Homo-oligomer: A and B are copies of this chain.
Amino acid sequence: MTISKRPKDQLKSHIREQNQTLILATAERVFARQGLAKTTTQMIADEAGLPKANIHYYFRSKKDLLEAVLEKTLHQWLESVSRFNEQDGPKAALTRYVSEKIDQSRINANASKVFAMALIGEEEFVLDYLRRYFVGELQREKATIEAWVEQGLMDPVPVEHLFISLWALTQTYADFDAQVKIMLGKDILEEEDYDMAKQFVTRMVLSACGVKD
Binding site for B on A (CB under 8 A): 35-38, 113, 116-117, 119-122, 127, 130-131, 134-135, 138, 157-158, 160-165, 167-169, 171-173, 175-176, 178-180, 182-185, 196-197, 199-201, 203-205, 207-208, 210
Tell me which of A120, A134, A158, A178 has the highest count of chain B C-beta atoms within 10 A of its own C-beta: A120
Q: Check if B182 sits within 8 Å of A134, measured CB to CB.
A: yes
A176 to chain B, nearest CB (A): 6
| Cβ contacts under 8 Å, A121 to chain B | 35, 38, 117
Q: Given the complex of chains A and B, what is the CA–CA distance between A119 and B182 in angstroms?
A: 12
Q: Check if B37 sits within 8 Å of A176, measured CB to CB.
A: no
Q: Check if A138 sits within 8 Å of B183, measured CB to CB.
A: yes
**18 examples of A-B residue contacts, CB within 8 angstroms:** A113-B120, A116-B120, A119-B178, A120-B175, A120-B176, A127-B178, A130-B179, A131-B182, A134-B182, A157-B200, A161-B200, A164-B183, A164-B197, A165-B172, A165-B201, A165-B204, A167-B179, A204-B208
| Cβ contacts under 8 Å, A179 to chain B | 119, 127, 130, 167
Q: Given the complex of chains A and B, what is the CA–CA distance between A173 and B168 in angstroms?
A: 9
A sample of 17 more A-B contacts (CB under 8 A), given A131-B182, A158-B196, A203-B208, is: A35-B36, A35-B120, A35-B121, A116-B176, A127-B178, A127-B179, A138-B183, A158-B199, A164-B183, A165-B201, A165-B204, A168-B168, A169-B169, A204-B204, A204-B205, A207-B208, A208-B208
